[in-house]
Structure 1
Amino acid sequence: MNMYIEKLTNLLLEKNEMISYIQAKTWVELLWSDFEATYAKAGHAYQGEKMTEKIVTQWIENYGGQLHLFQSSRNDVNDYLNQSRGLLH
């Protein structure tokens, strides 16, 4: 999985110059785990890392350039996502 995370982190950094490496990796890990958890909760059989990579890649392609604009209604989430703001790659 680490190979996929690194690849997707680099893709996100290409799409969004406003986030740091740490933020990009955090976003990728969150998107990855969110997809797998949601897919499982919906009762679908696990399709493997390739399927998760495909979906997260689509999300990054479609929304990666705007992820730095995300604001959660939960302060703890915002704190987590903004932990390295200002330390750009």
Structure 2
Amino acid sequence: MAAAYFLIAILGCADGSVDCTPVMTVPTRYESEAACSAAAPGALLEHNNFDFPSLVAECRREAPRAASAERDRDPPPAVPTRRG
């Protein structure tokens, strides 16, 4: 089983940090929560063009999707059809 990684989610909030809605996920993956947290302020400064009274950057743990990625990569085998 592969290790989990962290992504920075940018949330748009209606009133401070209440009623927040995810508006984007920064595509960079971080191997630790500490590395993600250290990068969050810079990501918030870079991605601040959303129409909300306030924005918040939050690190979220993402589990690897090896099984589904492998399933999506390999198409199912062709099934012969009978004619006649």
In the superposition, the TM-score normalised over structure 2's length comes to: 0.29
Which has the bigger relative contact order, CA under 8 A and spacing at least 6? 1
**Which of the pair is proportionally richer in helix?**
1
**Which of the pair is proportionally richer in strand?**
2
